[in-house]
Every structure is written in C-alpha cells, then in structure tokens.
Amino acid sequence: MESLQTSTESIFEAFLDYSSGLFLVLDKSGRILKANAYAKQQLGKQIVNQMFDRIILDFYSTFELSAVERELEDSQPSDVVHALNVKHISGMPQTYLFRFCFTDKTIYAFGELNNDELESVRKEILGLNEELNNLTRELHKKNALLEQLNREKNQFLGMAAHDLRKPIGLAMTYSDFLIEEAGPILDEEQNGFLSTIHKSCVFMKRLVDDFLDVSAIEAGKFDLDLHPSSTFEVLEQSLRLNQLQAAKKDIRLKVQTPQDIPKVMMDASKIEQVITNLVSNAIEHTAPQTTVAIELSVKADHLVFSVEDEGPGIAPGELKRLFEPFEKTSTKKTGGEKSTGLGMVITRKIIEAHEGEIWVESVLGKGTIVFFTLPMTWRGHG
Amino acid sequence: MIAQEVYDQYFNALLKGDRVRCTQMVQTLLDQGIDIQVLYRQLFEKSLYQIGEMWEQNLISVAREHLVTAITENLLNLVYPFLFSQRKLERKVIISCAANEHHQIGGKMVADIFEMNGWDSYFLGANTPTDQMISFIGEIKPDLVGLSLSIYFNVPSLQQGIEAITREYPELDIIVGGQAFRWGEISFLKKYSQVQYMKSIEDLENQLKKE
C-alpha cells in the first residue's frame, strides 16, 4: 500500500514537473523551496531560494502573500486568482494567473498562462497580418498600374513636345526675322505685338525642351555622354550665354575659381545646361545693379560649384518644394521673367546622374546660394 | 527548377519560423531570375502542402502551422513587384474564400497565378460574406469567379456561395479548389453545370494556357 502511494506521488510529481504551469512550493516567509521543471525552464534555475515577490514585476503596489491568505479565509482556492507579471528568462515579462493554497508550514503556488487571452491575441495578430498582406498586394497592384499610366503619360508628353518643337521654332525664327527686317517700317504698337509673339515663342520652346528632358528622364532614356572635360571650359561656355541676360539688368557676374583643376568625367553639355540654368535663375531673381557670384572650389575628392544671388531669398518652408515639378516659390522674378517650373527638376536629375549632390541655402532678405558637387574620382557607369 | 537541397533548407527555416532566412532565400531566387510560377509551385505550394500534412498527422501544432502560413504570405509580397508589371489581357477574375473559411493563402496564390497569366485579379480575402461577394461581382463584372476552400467541413458554406452566385449570375463561370478537396468528396459539384474543379496550381495554369 505504502509503495503504491509513493509511486502515485512520484507519478503525480513527474506530471507536475512537465506540465506547462509554474508550480512552486514556498515557506511561510515566501521563500521558494521547490519549483517544477517548467518553472525553472521559464524563470531560470536560480529561482529556488529566491523570495516569491522577487520573481514578479510589481509596478504600483506590493504583492503580499499574507493578504492572499486573508482573502482565502472566506473563499475557495480556485476562486482566488491573481494575474502576476513574472520575470521570464527571455527578458520579456509574461502574465500568469496564480492560485495559492496555504497549509501550516507551506504555501503552494500554481501559475498558468491565460490561454484564452493568448488565443484571441494570436487570432487577432494573424487577422491583422492577413489584412496587411492583402493591402500590400493591392498597393503593389495599384503601383504597377500607376507606373504603366506614368509611362503612357511620358510617351504622350514626349510625342506632343516633339511635334510642337518644330512649329514653335519656326514661329520664333520668323518673328525674330520680322523684328529685324520689318521693325523699322512698323509702328510702335505693331513692334510690340511682334515682340510679344517672339517672347512667347521663346518661352514655349523652353517649356517644350524641358518637357522633352523630363519625359526622357522619367522614361529612363536619360543617357550621359561622358568624357573627361575641363570645368573651366564648361563654365566659360555657360557664362557666355548668361552674359547677355546679366548685361540687360546691369548685373555683374563675379567668378572665382582655383588656379588648376584636373579634367573631370562629365557630360559637358548637360553640366553646361545646369550652370546656365542656375546662373539664369540667379539673374532673374536678383535686382538690377547687383552681383551674382559664381564660385568653383575643390573639397576633398569633389568639385563644389556655387551660385549666389542678392535676391529676396526663399522661405524655409518653400526650399524643399524647389525640386518638385511645376512648383514655383513665392519669390518674384525682378524682370517679370516666366518660369516653366521644370528647370530645377532637370538640374537635380542631371547632377544625381553624375552621382553629385545639389542643395540650396537661403536667407530671407539676403539672398540664395545653390550648391552642387561633382565627384572627381567618378569614372561613370558601365 | 528548385534544387532539392535549396527546398530542404527553405523548408527547415520555414518550420523553425525563421522569417529572415526564408526572406533571404526567396530574394536570392528572385535575384537569380527564377520563374515566378516555378517559385509558387515548387517552393510555396509544395511547402504549404507538406506543412498541412504534418499538421494532419499531429506532428506540428496549429500555432506552428499558422506561423508558417503567415511567413509564406509575407514572402508573397517579395514577388509582387514582378508579378503586377506583366502584360494584361482584357479578362477579370474574382477570387474569394467561402464564408467561414479562414484560410486565405491558397486563394491568394490562385489570384496571383491569374495575374501571371495576364488576368486582372481581385482577391477578396478570408471569410468573405456571400452578400458582399455578390455585390462585388455586380460591381466588377468578372469573366470568372474562383472560390477557395481549405477545410472540408466548410463545404455547406461553399455550396451556399455557389448557389447564390448562380442565382444572380447564371451565366458566370466558377472554379473551385483548395486543400479541402485533397481527401474530400467532390461529386456534389457535378450538379452545378458552370462549376469546374481545379486540382492544383499546375492544373489551373494548364487550363489558363489553353485559353
């Protein structure tokens, strides 16, 4: 009989040991005398001999076993449940539902995970994951559709701009020709009409050229014709185009460059387009009889180019919009010049294609500086 | 073709719940230019069937099976940039899970197979109420509806869905498929003339290629 009892106890103990619940035996002071294998696995082997309240995270009140004992005087052990946050060996606390049983010398504590709660959380997370994945699928699908529409838009833009270029060019040339040849025999009003036609044609041609550039960039057909080029020559050529514009507003172009700069790998015509555009912008935004400063320097393995004007400056909130298509800042051009809203977009794309960087610094009332860099060690792609 | 060794490594990582390793492996296969249909059949479908069998034999828990499914569903997102950029036909399909059917990954993969074959697919997700599905069919006007079923005891829901569709749209073709029919009876489908059973992704692909 005795051996059967011993055997039953040992079987019972073995089950307890491997059950997925924390089974702890404490003395009356709350010291852990014994812990089942699962408890040691979850909380660490060192829990034996620790005080019970040391294994729980108690944020706002102190958990007291004596209070539980008083509670149990009027209730069944199965009715008194305490949800306690236990310090898990992984470092992530886990909430166990604890039940206690008090005898003369010993306290038995049994903690189990709230499976219903875990199950509902698991279901919710799985549901959220599915929902998120369905949305991601939808997003990819919409994205592919948008990309297709964008390609079609660029194709249309490219075709339209290409077809418009020739008639605009003809109208521009002939209006220019008429101003020169027929100007002297026309009256002031008629000359004014011709001048407006010519200016509009110049603007339209610029717009069409910008459209063609943007459409090529967005269609990924923006190829660089890379050669080692002299930065001085590129700068000189660009400024030659800007001189006339500056002279009309009596603006001085102040150029500062170092003595010697080695040739740099670049698409010279595109960098010339960038410099012309930046200097032209500076001239347009600065008042007559002021200075636009152009500076070229070498910093580490980069060429740094800057254009500084004495214009009204750009508000900090508008700086980030400067490189967005068709965005125009509130800064007015001093000579009433028109902008396509694409120049800075194209400029940035050209610089980025050269693996350079472009940025703007501006102080309201003082002026704006546009910087760009070109890596001197870059050999180009492919 | 996915080498057995690669499949085994992937399957072991999946079974362990190693999402990062699985992601790396699928990304590597995509970078190597693997055919997406091969990826679906020989990696995703094969591993999910194997996991399903392990679950049926009590070799893994429900939680483990759900984890594996969730990881696989996340991996499908890696494929989408390639999937949706393909040439489109003028054909639309709605894929849905039957009402009360909470397993959606099979249906989603079927929707993706249609995309790969140039169809415009609309995936409605798990446990789609029949009335919502009917109203979506009215809105989209698809050429075909696909219903997915993973658990055989949801057959009444599937039948309810089929009957509701045929009542509203008697001419509309329907395909059904899913894990539920691997061991289950399919003869009840014979009474619906416009319903066709698809045994596997491969069968579906063969059918789509014939059209």
A382 vs A225, A226, A242, CA distance in Å? Answer: 12, 11, 34
pLDDT over 80 at A4, yes or no: no
Query: B89-107 as b/e, with b when 16 or more CB fall inside 10 Å?
Result: eebbbbbbbbbbbbbbbbb
Question: pLDDT value at position B123?
Answer: 94
The closest alpha carbon to B94, from B66, B45, B130, belongs to B130
Q: Do A141 and B104 touch (CB under 8 A)?
A: no
Strand A358-363, strand A367-375: pairing: antiparallel
Q: Which of A266, A204, A205 is nearest to A238 (CA)?
A: A266
Query: Above 60 in pLDDT, residue A2?
Result: no
Mean pLDDT of all residues in chain B?
A: 91
Measured distance CA(B39)–CA(B41) in Å, rounded = 6
DSSP string, A111-162: EEE-HHHHHHHHHHHHHHHHHHHHHHHHHHHHHHHHHHHHHHHHHHHHHHHH
Chain B residue whose CA is closest to A126: B70
Selected residue with higher pLDDT from A11 and A327: A11
Other residues' Cβ atoms within 10 Å of the Cβ of residue B68: 25
Given this chain, do its domains B4-83 and B92-210 carry the same CATH topology?
no
Whether A137 contacts chain B with CB within 8 A: yes
> Could you tell me which chain A residue has the CA closest to the CA of B125?
A134
Which one of A140, A143, A149, A151 would you mutate to disrupt binding with B, by most B Cβ within 10 Å of its Cβ? Answer: A140
Tell me how close the Cα of A260 comes to any Cα of chain B, in angstroms: 45
Measured from the Cβ of residue A366, the count of other Cβ atoms closer than 10 Å reads 13
Residue A291 has pLDDT above 90, yes or no: yes
Q: How many interface pairs between A and B have CB atoms less than 8 angstroms apart?
A: 43
Under 8 Å between Cβ of A86 and A57 = yes
* B195 contacts B176 by C-beta, under 8 angstroms: yes
DSSP states of A346-378: HHHHHHHHTT--EEEEEETTTEEEEEEEEESS-
Percent of chain A with pLDDT over 70: 92
Q: Is the pLDDT of residue B111 over 60?
A: yes
Residue A74 pLDDT greater than 60, yes or no: yes
Cβ neighbours of B108 in A, within 8 Å: 133-134, 137
Q: Which two tokens stand for residue B191?
A: 């009474």
Q: What is d(CA B5, CA A314) in angstroms, rounded to the nearest whole number?
A: 61
pLDDT above 80: residue A332: no
Contacts of A145 in chain B (CB under 8 A): 84
Range with top average pLDDT, A5-14, A150-159, A175-184? A175-184
Under an 8 A CB cutoff, do A130 and B73 touch? yes
From B191's Cα to the closest Cα of chain A, the distance in A is: 33
Nearest CA in chain B to A118: B63
**Alpha helices (H) along B18-61:** 19-31, 36-39, 46-56
Give me the mean pLDDT over the A9-18 stretch: 83
Exposure class string for A281-297: b at 16+ Cβ within 10 A, else e: bbbbbbeeebebbbbbe
* Other Cβ atoms closer than 10 A to A79: 10
pLDDT of residue A61: 64
- Tell me: pLDDT of A335 over 60: no
Lowest mean pLDDT among A175-179, A296-300, B184-188: B184-188
Give the pLDDT of residue B103.
86
Cα angle for residues A87, A92, A94 (degrees, 5° grid): 60
Average pLDDT, chain A: 86
Cβ contacts of B115 on chain A, cutoff 8 Å: 141
Best probe of the B interface among A123, A137, A146, A148, by most B CBs < 10 A, is A137
Higher pLDDT, A68 or A76: A68
Cross-chain residue pair A144–B85, CB shorter than 8 Å: yes
CATH class as words, domain B4-83: mainly alpha
Q: What average pLDDT does this structure show over B67-79?
A: 94
Q: What's the CA gap between B126 and B148, in Å, rounded?
A: 9
Q: Cα-flanking dihedrals φ and ψ of residue A369, to 5°?
A: -120, 130
Of A51-60, A66-75, B62-71, B122-131, the least confident: A51-60
Judged against a pLDDT cut of 90, whether residue A42 lies above it is answered with yes
Q: Kindly determine whether residue B84 and residue A144, on different chains, have CB atoms separated by under 8 Å.
A: yes
Per-residue confidence (pLDDT) for residue A379, from 0 to 100: 65
> Among all residues of chain A, which has the CA nearest to that of B74?
A133
Q: Tell me the pLDDT tens digit for each residue of B32-61.
A: 999 998 999 999 999 999 998 898 888 999
* Residue carrying the six token digits 């798990």: B126
Distance CA B28, CA B24 (A): 6
Do B103 and B69 touch, CB atoms closer than 8 A?
Answer: yes
Give percent of chain B with pLDDT exceeding 70. Answer: 100
Q: Is A129 on the interface with B (CB under 8 A)?
A: yes
| A346 or B13, which is more confident | B13
Instruction: Using pLDDT thresholds of 50, 70 and 90, give the confidence band for residue A106.
Output: very high
Q: Which of A17-21, A107-111, A366-370, A372-376 has the lowest mean pLDDT?
A: A17-21
- Rounded distance between C-alpha atoms, residue A179 and residue A64, angstroms: 101
CATH class of B92-210: alpha beta
Instruction: Verify whether the Cβ–Cβ distance B77 to A140 is below 8 Å.
Output: yes
B100/A38: higher pLDDT: A38
Radius of gyration of chain B measured on its C-alpha atoms: 17
In this structure, what token pair is assigned to residue B114?
A: 């249609």
Q: What is the CA radius of gyration of chain A?
A: 39
Domain boundaries, chain B: 4-83, 92-210
Give contacts of B83 with chain A, Cβ < 8 Å: 140
Residue A154: pLDDT band (50, 70, 90) is confident
d(CA A133, CA A118): 22
**Confidence band of A382 (pLDDT split at 50, 70, 90):** very low
Q: Quick: pLDDT tens for A196-218.
A: 899 888 888 888 887 788 777 77
Measure B52 CA to nearest chain A CA, in Å: 17
**Tens digits of residue pLDDT in B155-196:** 999 999 999 999 999 999 999 999 888 777 888 888 899 999
Q: Which helix (H) or strand (E) holds A100?
A: strand A94-102
With beta carbons less than 8 A apart as the criterion, state whether A298 and A304 touch: yes
Q: β-strand A82-86 against B173-177: which pairing, if any?
A: unpaired
Complex ipTM more than 0.95, yes or no: no
Choose between B187 and B95: higher pLDDT. B95
pLDDT at B164: 95
Quick one: average pLDDT of A156-167?
83
- Confidence (pLDDT) at A329: 61
Contacts of B123 in chain A (CB under 8 A): 134, 137
Report strand pairing: A106-113 vs A227-229: unpaired
Query: Domains, chain A, ranges and CATH?
Result: 2-113 (3.30.450.20), 119-218 (1.10.287), 227-375 (3.30.565.10)
Confidence of residue B107 (pLDDT cuts 50, 70, 90): very high
According to the model, what pLDDT value does residue A374 have?
93
Q: Which residue did the predictor score with more confidence, A2 or A103?
A: A103
Decide: residue A122, CB within 10 A, 0-12 exposed, 13-18 middle, 19+ buried.
middle
**Residues from B in contact with A at Cβ < 8 Å:** 63, 66, 70, 73-74, 76-77, 80-81, 83-85, 104, 108, 115, 123, 125-126
